[in-house]
Every structure is written in structure tokens, then in C-alpha cells.
Structure 1
């Protein structure tokens, strides 16, 4: 009985101690080996991190670029507002100081906004369609250099060269003023053949508007088409002006035909004042 009492699971006490000691040694070896692997992984990761930091310090976190490319990485934040029409929103595209500078440049040259006339239309028959005041300013005529900066940024955002852009049309909308829904592109059947066509428009909102003054797209996603839409109504997708923000929309499809959903207008200002700078972009150099 004493012999049986000193055995556990059929193993003698002395043998049992040897087995326990051996298992402890194995466990320690496994633990040491795993620590070595983990440590080497961290070292490799740290070395890679240091290599990337060194690369970024030396190369400026850039990629190889073409002769006409840029030597630094830039990011311009935007939000896709719609695919029909293709409309993108750029928050904080320019600074408040730049906005005020453009307004000051334009203030002394404002005149009643003009309107491109269709065949058979007259200034009298189109009265009330566009009631804002505005002026055209080229970046080359701006001694402050602000419009040059904005124009370059628009070219980066659209990937269309500056040479394809018209002069900035800076507009002021006072209470009750508006622009009835229209197309920026010119339908040859209505306006006749032209040497170039407007493919996109970039709006820079120079001021906040307390109420009203939204840029609206009544045909967004095919809505209100073919139902006798009243062009004076302010419905559909509406973009509220916020100082410094930008809005880009395309008037043409890639195949050159007019996107019918790009119909847009400016809702009447109800309270406050609206300032906006528009850059029309053409398919030909201007």
C-alpha cells in the first residue's frame, strides 16, 4: 500500500520531478524563442519606419514627376454632391482674406449683368432673368496676385489648364436678385456655332448669405424634366453659399454633348448679400 501511495498516475515520485523539470525547461525555451521573433519583428518595423522618415526628409514625401508636373504632394478636399449633374463641392477652397480682397477689387467696376441672347431674343424680352451686377476681372489685371493663386488652384482641382478659362466674373446679388435656371454651355441650335464651348464652371463663394441665394439644380438626377418646369422656381439640389467654399459642375459629357441635368440658377437672396466669383472653363484656349 505504501508503494502505491507514493505513485501518481503510475509514475514514481523521483521520475515525476524529472518530467516536471524537463517541461519547465521546454516552456522557457519556447518563451525565449517567441520573444526573439517578436523583438526582431519590432526592430525590422522600426528600421522600416526610420527608412521611410529618412526618405520623406530627403525626398519631401513625393513621387517622381514629369517635366510639367509639381514637385510636392498637395491635397484639395472635396465632396461629390451629385453625379447627375457631375457636381463637386470644395470646402474652404480660398481664405476669407482672399475673398474680401476679390470683393474690394470688383466693387468699383460693377455693372448690371449681361446675358447671352438666343436667336430672336432681345434685352427687353429677357429682362428679369438675370438681375445681379458684376464685372469681369482677369488674373493678369489683379496686382494683389490673389486671383492668380485662385486660378492656379482651380486648374489643379479641375486638371484643365488655366489657358482654357475665361476671366473671373465677379457678381453681387442683393435682396430679391436672382438668375433664372439656365445652361452655361451654348446649344448651337439656339445660339449658333461658336469657336469654343464651356465644358465646366467653377464658383467661388466670396460671402455668406443669411437667407436664400442658393445655387440650385432643378433637374438633379432627372427630376422635373419634361413636366413643364417653371424656370423661376427654386427647387431641386440647392447649394448654400459659404464664404471661401467652391463649387464645380460640368456642363458637357465627355463626348461633348450638353448634360441636360446641368441646368442651374441662383435663388433670390432673401436676407443679406451674395458675392460669387465664377470661372467658366472652355474646351479651347481662350
Structure 2
């Protein structure tokens, strides 16, 4: 990732056993398909003289959604988290205003003094010297239980709802700061056992929360979106592919694994140069 002066990013990383996410994601996909299918086939059919789409909006405005019975790990209320699907290949979604400016500033305050040079997981045959320059940011790890303000706990619960991955299957938050010219070059967030050795668990998804704005650059880039550029030996500094610009409080979710637990080869990402405000 290449970064800007003063730019911070909060990264929540989910690791879990390989079998579980396939069940959760499959259920989620079937639910969404059913919901949108219902909207497509019924929105033009009047119900009591009112179009179906309009009726649903009125119910929402009046707060008349009826919650279902819920399990011990469920919630008693219905929540709505706005998001936009940016890509299905790889699976990436954008969450506008996922956190408030005050929450972002609180996270920066409690972690700013703890930042140290970011480290890199080494593959077989690699050394710190041979990988020097790949990741040049500074950062720190912090769990929600270490945050006296409660902000990280709130963010963690919201991420669990957005991803349908339980909180106890996530890693600690990784708060990162990128100065001008710093970067994290192209990489996968999951760990290929052929390169890193046997894995007891695997990183299923990553959720980025942008803690500050930038004037220019700083995008998170997915160069292989929809299978493009995979056979050209691309130069990541040319900034090709799907690019997501950081905006304070916005979130970015992307899944590193297919629903069968194998690594998605299109989910290579990197972060490119940006300028600070």
C-alpha cells in the first residue's frame, strides 16, 4: 500500500475454519436472491391500489417492520446497513458512512502513540531483507477489549452484522498509517498453504474502515477484477483495475476465499500513492 501523510486505516480481519463461511455465505446469497427476486416480480403489481415497492417504503418509514423470534446469538431488532456491491469477481462491497467522524478520530487518538513499522508474513524462502519495501506503513494491533471508549466494540459488532461472521472469529484490529510515498504492494490477504505452510485457520474476509480523507490517490486497488489483467504481468504502479478511493468513515469489505474455502485468485489487492489534505 502506498500512503499519504496523516491517512489512517482500520482493518478488521476475519479468520475462521474453512467449512463455516461457506454455510453462512450460501445462506446470505440465497436470502438476497430471494429478496431481490421478490422485488423484481412484485413491484409493479398493485396491492390495494398501492404499488408493492411504495408499500414497502411506507412500512419502513412508519417503523412497522416486525422482528422475528431470534436465537441466543441473534438480535432483537431489525437493522439496516447501506452498502453497494462493487464487484462479484472478486466479491467486494462498499459501506458508506459506516462510522462517524467522531468515531474515526477516537480510534486515531487511542492508537497514534502505539504505531510501529508494519511487519510482513514471510513466505518460504523469503527474508526481511528480500521483502524490504513491500510494506512500508506503520501500524498497531488492538482488540475491542483494549479500547476504553467502547468505539471499537461498536464497530466490531457492526462488522459482524455486515459480514455474518461472528465477532469471536475475527482477529484484532490492525490500525495503519501511510505517509506520503508509503505503500503495501500487491498481495493476498489469505495465506496459501503452498507458500506459507499449513494453516490451522484461514483469513476469510477483510473489512477496511478509512479513518481519514485524502485529496488525491490512496485507492485500494483490485487489478484482477472480473478476471482481467491476470496474464499480462502488470505493473501495479500503473493503477489498473477496480479502485476504491478512501473517504473518512467509509468501509470496504472483500472476501479472500470462495464459498468452498479455496483462495480467490482475483482477490489480489494493493494500495497506491496518495496525497494528504
> Shorter-chain-normalised TM-score: which range?
0.7 to 0.9
1:230 is displaced (CA, Å) by: 2.8
Match of 1:63 among 58, 61, 67: 67
Instruction: Please say if residues 181 and 232 of structure 1, whose CA atoms lie closer than 8 Å, have aligned partners that are also in contact.
Output: no
Matched, 1:192 2:219: no
Task: For residues 81-136 of structure 1, give each alpha carbon's deviation from its aligned partner in whole angstroms, at most 9, with x where no partner exists.
Answer: 00110000000000000000001111000000000000000111001100100000
Give distance in 1, aligned partners of 2:197 and 2:184: 23
Instruction: Please say if residues 180 and 232 of structure 1, whose CA atoms lie closer than 8 Å, have aligned partners that are also in contact.
Output: no
Match of 2:103 among 84, 95, 98: 98
Q: What is the TM-score with the length of structure 1 in the denominator?
A: 0.73
Give distance in 2, aligned partners of 1:189 and 1:67: 39
Give distance in 1, aligned partners of 2:219 and 2:267: 15
Q: What is the TM-score with the length of structure 2 in the denominator?
A: 0.76
Give distance in 2, aligned partners of 1:61 and 1:218: 41
Task: For residues 4-30 of structure 1, give each alpha carbon's deviation from its aligned partner in whole angstroms, at most 9, with x where no partner exists.
Answer: xxxxxxxxxxxxxxxxxxxxxxxxxxx
Instruction: Please say if residues 62 and 71 of structure 1, whose CA atoms lie closer than 8 Å, have aligned partners that are also in contact.
Output: no
Secondary structure at the residue paired with 1:157?
Answer: helix
Give the equivalent residue in structure 1 for 2:264: 259
Matched, 1:204 2:235: no
Secondary structure at the residue paired with 1:108?
Answer: helix
Q: Mark the runs of 5 or more structure 1 residues left unpaired by the alignment.
A: 1-40, 43-48, 274-286
Give distance in 1, aligned partners of 2:180 and 2:204: 30
Instruction: Please say if residues 202 and 248 of structure 1, whose CA atoms lie closer than 8 Å, have aligned partners that are also in contact.
Output: yes
Looking at secondary structure, tell me which structure has more helix per residue: 1
Runs of 4+ with >4 A deviation = none
Cα RMSD, aligned residues only: 2.0
Higher relative contact order (CA 8 A, sep 6+): 2
